[in-house]
Amino acid sequence: MRVHYLIWIWIHFSFGESEFHYPCQEICLCEEGAKFVNCSGVNVTDNLIFPPETEHLDLSISNLCSVPSKVLRSLWKLQVLLLSGNYIAQVGERAFSSLERLQKLDIHRNEITVLGSSFSTGLSSLRELNLSYNRLQELYYRNFQHFENLQKLNFQNNNISSIEMGAFRSLTRLRQLHLQNNHLLNLHNGVFSMLQHLEVLNLEGNRIKTIAPGVFTSLNSLTVLNLVHNAIEHIRFKTFLTIQTPGTHILLSYNPWFCDCDLQRVFAKLHSVKRLILDDYDNMTCMDPQVLRNLSLSSVDTQLCIAETVTVLVITFTVFITVVAAIVMAERNRKKRTGKHWSEDSDISYESQD
C-alpha cells in the first residue's frame, strides 16, 4: 500500500507541471512568463488553451462572434480581459462567472444589443467596464446587480433610449458614468439613485429635453456634469440646486435655449450659488425667440427682464388709460340721460355752501 502511495507522489511531481500548466500559444505574444498574453489580431477559437497563471489577456480584433467562455473557464487569476473590436452580438449566460478576480473588462466596438440577467455574475471584483460603441438600447438593474466594486462604466456611443428606474442602484462605488452620444430623451427622478460616490456624469450628445427637478439629488460627490449638445430649451433652478457637492462643474452649451426673462432669472440664481460652476456660460446661445437667435445668452441676459418689464408697464398703462376713459365716458352718458352737464352738480354744491 505504501509503495502505491509513493508511486502516486512520484507521478504527481514528475508530470504535474505538464498536466496543469500550458505553455503560451505560439500565435500569441507572452511576457513575464505567461502573465501577459497578447493575442490581438489572431483568430481565436475555443480550442486554444491559455496558461492558468495568465493575468492580462488581450483578445481584441480576433474575429470573435461570441465570448469564448470555454477559453476563459480556467483563467481564475485573470485581472484584465480585452475583447474590443470583435463581432460579439450577445453575451452568453454566466459567460464571465469564473473570473472572480477580473478588474477590467473591455468589450467596446462590438455588436452587443442586450445584456443578459447573468451578465454581472462572477464579476464582483470588476472596477472598470467598457461597453462603448455597441448597439445597446435599454439598461436594467438585473444587468448590473453584482457590480458592487465597479468604479468606471462606459456606455458611450450606443443606442440607449431607456434606463430602468434604479438601474444603477447596486453600483454604490461607481465614480464615472459615461452615457454620451446615445438617444436619451428625458431624465426621470430615481434614474441615478444610490450613486453617492459618482464624480463624473457625462450625458453629452443625447436628445435630452426635460430633466426632473430631483434627478441629481442623490449625487453627493458629483464634480462634473456634462449636458452639452442636447435638446434643452429651459431648466428649473431647483434642478441644479439639489447638487450639494462644492465645486461642481456644469456644462450646458450647444442646447437650443429659449431666452426669456424666466431663463435669465434661473441663471442669475445659479450664478449666486457658489458651489456651482457654469464653465461654458459664455458659449451658451439662444435659439428662440427668432430675434435673439445665435446671440450669446451672456450678452442679452440683462436685457431679457428689462424688455419684459417695459412690456408689462406698457400693458399696465394702456389698461389704466382704457379704464379711465371708460369711467369718463360712462359719467358723460349718465349726465346726458339726466339732462345736466357734468359740471352743474359742482356749481350747485358751491352755491349751497354760500
235 and 133 housed in the same domain: no
Q: Look at residue 115 in the predicted model and tell me its pLDDT.
A: 94
145 and 208 housed in the same domain: no
Residue 327 domain-assigned (yes or no): no
Q: Look at residue 330 in the predicted model and tell me its pLDDT.
A: 72
Inform me whether the pLDDT recorded for 8 exceeds 70: no
Residue 336 domain-assigned (yes or no): no
For residue 28, name the pLDDT band (cuts at 50, 70, 90). Answer: confident
191 and 148 housed in the same domain: no
Residue 226 sits in which domain range? 184-321
35 and 70 housed in the same domain: yes
Q: Look at residue 167 in the predicted model and tell me its pLDDT.
A: 95
Over its C-alpha atoms, the chain yields an Rg (Å, rounded) of 35
- How many Cβ atoms are within 10 Å of 318's Cβ, its own excluded? 10
Residue 348 domain-assigned (yes or no): no
110 and 157 housed in the same domain: yes
Of 111 and 28, the structure prediction assigns the larger pLDDT to 111
195 and 304 housed in the same domain: yes
Average pLDDT value for residue range 277-301: 91
Cell numbers given for 250: 456644469
79 and 153 housed in the same domain: yes
| C-alpha 132: how far from chain center | 13
Q: Which helix (H) or strand (E) holds 195?
A: none
Inform me whether the pLDDT recorded for 297 exceeds 80: yes
Average pLDDT value for residue range 187-213: 96
Q: Look at residue 19 in the predicted model and tell me its pLDDT.
A: 39
Q: How many CA atoms lie within 13 A of 167 on its CB side?
A: 16
304 and 216 housed in the same domain: yes
The CATH code of the domain that includes 274 is: 3.80.10.10
142 and 31 housed in the same domain: yes
Which stretch of 139-148, 250-259, 268-277, 313-322 has the lowest confidence by average pLDDT? 313-322
Residue corresponding to grid cell 360712462: 330
Inform me whether the pLDDT recorded for 343 exceeds 70: no
Inform me whether the pLDDT recorded for 149 exceeds 80: yes
**Residue 177 bridge partners (DSSP):** 153, 201
pTM of the full structure: 0.80
For residue 350, name the pLDDT band (cuts at 50, 70, 90). Answer: very low
Question: How many domains are contained in the chain?
Answer: 2
Of 92 and 107, the structure prediction assigns the larger pLDDT to 107
105 and 65 housed in the same domain: yes
In degrees to the nearest 10, what's the CA dihedral of 251, 177, 158, 205?
0
203 and 309 housed in the same domain: yes
154 and 219 housed in the same domain: no
